[in-house]
Structure 1
């Protein structure tokens, strides 16, 4: 199970690798408080607008909007876990809640983040289809496909969530008399931990490549059309490109730094890298905060779904 942050508040041991700074107590409290205050209302409003705009204009949900609603749900789930972590960090890394809460909230932290990755990649691919095959995409009833794919994603993540909760004894440990949550690997073997973490890293870079390729192909399609007669779908294609660009920006700003650091950091925590590295540990905590900000940036994507959405927001 991945460690969220090693926040024992202890000094680096002479022969250890736990070299974290006190600044994280304030860092996580402030960052998570900001994300909670902005993320909860913005994503709830986004869901409301998505449904209101669609049915106000007698339009059903299509595939991309199904993914957007699921992305909203993932972001809302993530932000609702933050008050518990804010309390945890405010107490300098002392878990005062039940062991079940530690397992559930720690697992939801990762489930919501990686479900966001999946839905962002699906949104980017859907926009690629809308640009390269606009007529086929418009004619094809994609709502059902979107619901099926979303259900599969949530099904896989729920299985992961349940399997993680069952191992609740692995998620809590005591350091200097302080009960910690998701800061140790318990009795799990080194190989299992490494496979788990590098599977997550590989999953990120796979979805990242999907987003990059889709964005490039959308740009090439629009560039080719720019030298030809403008089609009736040109405006929609430009809108799709703007959305894909924002998705790519979220990947680069929020997820890429964390997964770039995650590999070396895991090796450090597993004592495979023997030399203590305080800078690497601190950078890892900062990138964890950056990844968490994705649920604040995601609502920006909603603005590019439809002109009705932007018009309704301005007139609200």
Structure 2
């Protein structure tokens, strides 16, 4: 059991058992790192052989970059949590890699929201092709998201500037200046707004997608065609990943942030919030390993390129808008006709 200061502004001591975070979570993050590094490196290799001829591909490319950056922060967290590094490593984690982790998390959330909007548009207007203005707009929007999150995150790095009192730093909040704690709390609330905006986007879009798929099911049933069950399953992979990875953490984050920046919880409540935060944070990290399933099931160019690569074929071709097979549902949001 280790003792540490309960809050940044409180000198009272609170005992906490770190065995779980020093043993179990480093092992879990090691698994995510190995799996995620392989799958996302492969995804990046494939995506950058595919031309960005649709908003969908542009958003997916940004997502894979974000996921790969997140995965590269895992080794530092693993070493730090397992107490295998020195004091400077813990300081580096608090000042740099933890900030990058959250920076990439909200970039991924933002692009999942944009991908959902794109899939809804594909459902309602399946034959609409992308034009240069739309593609430029998607690229500009992508740059804005990266720039906004960078500007939001940079002060968290700069304001984590206190010298540690000892080598065994228990909480990153001990390294933040007084304004750094205030900025940290502000950023957390802004990130909550980003999450809930995208949460509402996904709920609304998938409600409308479900209605459209049901109408399509009724139409095909009426003419004796079999319902496309596989399509329905693929459509909901985005919302499944979103709810598994991001929803639990955001229900836990506000009270945990308050426990870090204000003296509002007793010791037992603070400890419980810590373990809940660590568990749900691991689920957010799982997103980097689940996103490749989105690429595979929703992006035909990615799937074709991967299959060709595994078969040893040289250079997979992207689906042609004019090659839609006879009898394909016009409301299929998985159909990638604009690539």
Change (3 A) 1:181 1:93: farther
**How high is the TM-score relative to the length of structure 2?**
0.76
1:47 aligns with 2:56: no
User: Which position in structure 1 is the counterpart of 2:124?
Assistant: 132
Aligned mates of 1:238, 1:127 — CA distance in 2: 17
- The match for 1:63 among 32, 55, 68 is 55
Cross-structure match for 2:200:
209
What SS is found at the alignment partner of 2:219?
coil
Residue 309 in structure 1 maps to residue 302 in structure 2: yes
Q: Secondary structure at the match of 2:77?
A: helix
1:82 deviates by: 1.3
Structure 1 segment 105-124 matched on structure 2, within 5 A: 105-124=97-116
Give the Cα–Cα distance (whole angstroms) in 2 for the partners of residues 91 and 151 of structure 1.
Answer: 37
**TM-aligned CA deviation for residue 275 of structure 1:** 5.2
Decide whether the 8 Å contact of 2:2 with 2:16 is kept in 1.
Answer: no
Query: Counterparts of 1:78 and 1:163 in 2: how far apart (Å)?
Result: 19
Structure with the greater alpha carbon radius of gyration: 2
1:44, CA displacement in angstroms? Answer: 1.3
90-99 or 10-19: which moved more? 10-19
Question: 1 CA distance for matches of 2:230 and 2:123?
Answer: 9
1:102 Cα shift? 4.4
Partners of 2:2 and 2:302 in 1: CA distance:
46
1: distance between equivalents of 2:30 and 2:58?
29
Shift of 1:240: 7.8
Residue matched to 2:190: 199
Distance 1:32 1:274, change over 3 A: same
| Per-residue CA distance 1:253-282 (angstroms, 9 max, x = gap) | 111111111122223332222453232321
Matching of residue 298 in structure 1 with residue 288 in structure 2: no
> What is the aligned partner in structure 1 of residue 89 from structure 2?
97
Structure 1 segments unaligned to the other structure (5+ residues): 1-7
The equivalent residue for 2:212 is 221
Measured on the aligned residues, the alpha-carbon RMSD in Å equals 3.2
Q: Matches of 1:299 and 1:217 in 2, distance apart?
A: 25
The counterpart of 1:164, out of the listed 156, 178, 186, is 156
Which residue of the partner structure matches residue 4 of structure 1? none
Is 1:257 matched up with 2:248? yes
Kindly state the Cα deviation for residue 12 of structure 1 after the two structures are TM-superposed: 8.7
Residue from 59, 72, 76 that aligns with 2:68: 76
Secondary structure class of the residue paired with 1:29 = helix
Q: CA deviation at 1:29?
A: 1.0
Query: What is the DSSP-based 3-state SS (H/G/I as helix, E as strand, rest coil) of the residue aligned with 1:10?
Result: strand
Evaluate the alpha carbon distance shift between residue 308 and residue 110 of structure 1 in structure 2; reply closer, same or farther with a 3 A threshold.
Answer: closer
CA drift of 1:161 comes to 3.5
Q: Is the 8 A contact 1:103 1:165 kept in 2?
A: yes
1:10 aligns with 2:7: no
**Residue aligned with 1:228, SS:** helix
Return the alpha-carbon distance in structure 2 between the equivalents of residues 250 and 189 of structure 1.
32
- In the alignment, structure 2 segments of 5+ residues that lack a partner are 311-339
TM-score, scaled to structure 1: 0.81
Kept after mapping to 1: 8 A contact 2:35/2:289: yes
SS at match of 2:102: helix
> What is the number of residues matched between the two proteins?
297
